[in-house]
Amino acid sequence: MRVSLAAAFVLAVSLVANPALALKRVPYPEVRVVALPAFDGDVALADMRKRFADAVAAQNLAAVTILVSPKFEWTAAGGLVDEFDAKRGAEHNFKVAFGFRAPGRDADGTTDIGPQWELLAFFATDPVLTQEKGSPLVCGTTTAKVEDMGALDAAFNRIDEENDLSEWVYFVGELELTAKPGAGASVAKVSSLALPIVDLHPSAKEGSSALVTPTHFELLLPNGKAGWAPVERARPLFVDRLCFAKLGNEWKIAAYEQAE
């Protein structure tokens, strides 16, 4: 499934190290998710994203920035990031966001994070686009959202002593968790839930710097028990999104929403 491939990419780049193994394996409030409606499709948006993908593949920054909306916003956790500089304009903020320019500079150059061509390539070709009701934005890659943020906050407080270490994934369709990675007795069947990761399989060897891509997650259930699920069935709950909006008759890159 294309959705699974997108999820596997995001998880592979974001979960290369062991997750928060210090999480307390105790019961916590159930965190339900609701599916976001898929964007029905638009020929003009498809054409624009094709130009976006071609420009990224050629690493043609000028061709990419032409596609950025003059109203482009860069946010994190729901608010504008500190590096966002409204006075310098959309092109500047886009370049800083993706590592083509350092904050406060007027010229492109070397930065600590970029340039992030691979991330832009993922956003340009991600087949998963959704649109929340009443929003002008069409975004990838999230396909669901937390139904009750209060429940998520309560879950954090219950299991995560640092309150910022845990990684969560979610499932929209029904999924069976097993006692062992890919095998063993059934532990539970879940649907439309977000669950925290407590372990990975295979795990990185202690003292090794080698990159290990997990095939299975051990997930903590609301009842305090844990079970294993394959990586390709999960999507990350906290993930960056690139959003598009129609400006007149043209689609533009309108927002970069970072999870945190």
pLDDT of residue 103: 95
> Percentage of residues in the chain with pLDDT exceeding 90?
61
pLDDT of residue 118: 92
37-55: burial string, b at 16+ Cβ within 10 Å, e else: eebeeeeebeebbeebeeb
| Cis before 115 (ω within 30) | yes
| Cis before 202 (ω within 30) | yes
pLDDT of residue 18: 47
Of the two residues 125 and 161, the one the predictor is more confident about is 125
Of 230, 144, 228, the closest CA to residue 194 belongs to 144
Torsion of CA 151, 157, 158, 159, to 10 degrees: 110
- Residues present in the chain in total: 260
Which residues partner with 235 through β-bridges?
170
- What's the average model confidence in pLDDT over 235-251? 91
pLDDT of residue 167: 86
Q: SS3 for 94-140, per residue?
A: HHHHCCCCCCCCCCCCCCCCCCCHHHHHHHHHCCCCECCCCCCCEEE
Which domains, and CATH codes, for the chain? 17-37+144-236 (no CATH), 43-136+240-258 (3.10.450)
pLDDT of residue 238: 83
Q: Is 242 helix (H, G, I), strand (E, B) or coil?
A: strand
List, in order, residues 6 or more apart from 248 with CB less than 8 Å away.
none
- What's the average model confidence in pLDDT over 142-169? 84
**Interval 49-82: pLDDT, tens:** 999 999 999 999 999 999 999 999 999 877 999 9
Confidence of residue 17 (pLDDT cuts 50, 70, 90): very low
- For the cut 50, the answer to whether the pLDDT of residue 164 exceeds it is yes
CA angle (107, 110, 116) in 5-degree steps: 105
pTM: 0.78
pLDDT of residue 211: 64
- For the cut 90, the answer to whether the pLDDT of residue 12 exceeds it is no
Mean pLDDT, rounded, of the chain: 86
Residue 89 φ then ψ, to 5°: 95, 170
Rounded CA gap, 153 and 80, in Å?
Answer: 22
Of 17, 252, 260, 15, the closest CA to residue 137 belongs to 252
- What's the average model confidence in pLDDT over 144-164? 85
Rounded CA gap, 168 and 217, in Å?
Answer: 10
